Amino acid sequence: MKLVIVTGMSGAGKTVALKMLEDVGYYCVDNLPILLMREFASLLEGNSERNSDRVALGIDIRSGQDLPLFNDILKDWRRQGIDCRILFLDSSDEMLIKRYKETRRSHPLAGMNRIDQGILKEREKLAFLKEEADYIIDTSKLLTKDLRQEIEKLFLENQNFDNLFITVLSFGFKYGIPADADLVFDVRFLPNPYYVDELKDKTGENRAVQEYVMRGGTGYQFLTKLYDMIDFLIPNYVKEGKNQLVIAVGCTGGRHRSVTMAGALYQHLQVSRQLGLKLEHRDMDRNSR
């Protein structure tokens, strides 16, 4: 089991970091009571399920008076040979104050005092964690995408991982555009097999339907342009930190043309790069018009 402790200053990005680790396959738990951590780690050590191979725990000032107890727990884990690493997220006082003012939140240790006094108290209480930290990231000048890149460099260990899961989704406009679609393509300009008696009751997964949709060459031209655009967009989405992409391809009923073109795009993405990838036909099995 690989265990990452995500800690640091309030407002420095711990919640964002935990979400990013979750996106790359870590089982994440935030603000687990300190007194339960030994038992939690023991349970995970004895669990052979895949979601316990890599675990991230969020620890911060919310642990209150129990926080110093974590020092002994950490020493015990390291004596036991548990692969435990500490990621400490820090930021300048000026940036932390700015973030608190922007969100209109009060610092958990400030009480009736000013934010900077709460920050000072927090630094004192977290000093032992920063001293033990394996990695310290200063987020003062980092954008979200920059923080993601730093975390991937530290914890993906040179794995070939684009951190992007793509769903290629066919649908019928008559049933509505998918609410979660990022990109929507309308293929109602292509030849429609619905008006051919022997093809009407078949779907875009059928070879004869696919050949009908592609006749005349317009479908091939469209796919060439579509592939070019998608191949351009994907690395830029990855660079910006996007981790979910839904590409929706629609025709009238979602049974023939959209299924054909979505299937072709799915095959192209399978060949061209290693991605998290899924093909879904939302309306293919609905009753035909």
Give per-residue pLDDT as tens, 59-85.
Answer: 988 888 899 999 999 988 888 888 899
How confident is the model over 112-116, as a mean pLDDT? Answer: 80
Q: Could you give the CA distance from residue 210 to residue 235 in angstroms, rounded to a whole number?
A: 29
Residue 188 lies in a domain: yes
Q: What is the pLDDT of residue 88?
A: 94
Taking the mean position of all CA atoms in its chain, how far away is CA 201? Answer: 39
CB 193 within 8 A of CB 255: no
Segments forming the whole domain that contains residue 173 = 165-281
The span from the first CA to the last CA of the chain, in angstroms, equals 54
Q: What is the pLDDT of residue 6?
A: 95
Task: Tell me, yes or no, whether 179 and 136 share the same domain.
Answer: no
- Work out the percent of the chain whose per-residue pLDDT is above 70: 92
Q: Which tokens sit at 143?
A: 């954008």
Judged by DSSP in three states, 186 sits in strand
Highest mean pLDDT among 149-163, 217-231, 239-253: 217-231
Residue 289 lies in a domain: no
Question: Which residue do the tokens 């089982």 mark?
Answer: 27
Least confident of 10-14, 99-103, 222-226: 99-103
Give per-residue pLDDT as tens, 168-218.
Answer: 999 999 999 999 899 999 999 999 999 999 999 999 999 999 999 999 999
DSSP line for 37-91: HHHHHHHHHT--SGGGSEEEEE--GGGGGGGGGHHHHHHHHHHTT-EEEEEEEE-
Judged by DSSP in three states, 215 sits in coil
Task: Tell me, yes or no, whether 187 and 250 share the same domain.
Answer: yes
Give per-residue pLDDT as tens, 10-49.
Answer: 889 999 999 989 988 889 999 899 989 888 888 877 665 5
Residue 287 lies in a domain: no
**Domain tally for the chain?**
2
Residue 24 lies in a domain: yes
Give whole-number Cα distances, 173 to 108, 185, 223, 250, in Å. Answer: 50, 11, 20, 6
Q: What is the largest CA-CA distance in the chain?
A: 78
Highest mean pLDDT among 26-35, 96-105, 250-259: 250-259
Residue 286 lies in a domain: no
- Work out the percent of the chain whose per-residue pLDDT is above 90: 52
How confident is the model over 253-271, as a mean pLDDT? Answer: 94
Of 127, 155, 183, which marks where a domain is finished? Answer: 155
How confident is the model over 161-167, as a mean pLDDT? Answer: 71
Task: Tell me, yes or no, whether 7 and 144 share the same domain.
Answer: yes
